[in-house]
Amino acid sequence: METKTRYDIPCNIAQSLNIIGDRWTLLIIHEILSGHTLFNEIKKGLKGISSNLLSERLKYLEQQGIVETELYSEHPPRYCYKLTDSGKDLEDVFNAFIIWGSKHLKKCYKKIVDEETGDEIEIGYYSKRTGERVNKIAVVPVSDPAENE
C-alpha cells in the first residue's frame, strides 16, 4: 500500500480527509452509493483505475468502517460491497458536490432534483433541538473532543 499523506491537525475536515481524501476514494464511494456494488461494476464506472488500486482502496474503506463486504456467491466466493451507516452518511457530502458543480462548473453532468416535481433543490440546515430551518450557521470548537468518542 502506498504511503499516505496524513493530516495531524485537530480539524474535522483534515481528519475526514485522512479517511476519504485519497485519489479515487470518493469516486469509489459514489459508485457504491449509485448502486454499483460488484467489483467489476465499480471498476467499469471508474475508467482508468487499476484493479490493484481499486482493491486496495476498498480494503482500506472496509478497515475504516465505511464499506462492508457481503458474500453473494459461494462457488467461487464472490463479494459485493455495501456502505455502512457511516458510509451512507456521506451521501449529503456528494449531494453538496453535485449542487456546487451545478452552480460553478461549465460542464455539468448531474443535478439534484425533487423526485416528485423535478424542481432543483438546495441544502438546508436544521436545528437538532427544534427542527426549524437555520438561516445563519457558525462553526465552533468542541470543548472536549474526547466527549465524541
DSSP line for 134-146: ESS------S-GG
Task: For residue 31, give Cα distances in angstroms to 17, 119, 142.
Answer: 18, 24, 33
Give this prediction's pTM: 0.83
Question: Tens of pLDDT along 69-94?
Answer: 999 999 998 999 999 999 999 999 99
With a CB cutoff of 8 Å and minimum separation 6, the contacts of 102 are: 108, 110, 111, 112, 120
Question: Tens of pLDDT along 21-53?
Answer: 999 999 999 999 999 999 999 999 999 999 999
CATH class of 12-84: mainly alpha
Q: At what angle do helices 12-20 and 25-33 cross, to 10 degrees?
A: 80
Question: Tens of pLDDT along 106-146?
Answer: 888 888 999 999 999 988 999 999 999 999 999 998 877 66
pLDDT of residue 3: 55
Instruction: Give the start-to-end residue ranges of the domains of the chain.
Output: 12-84, 91-143
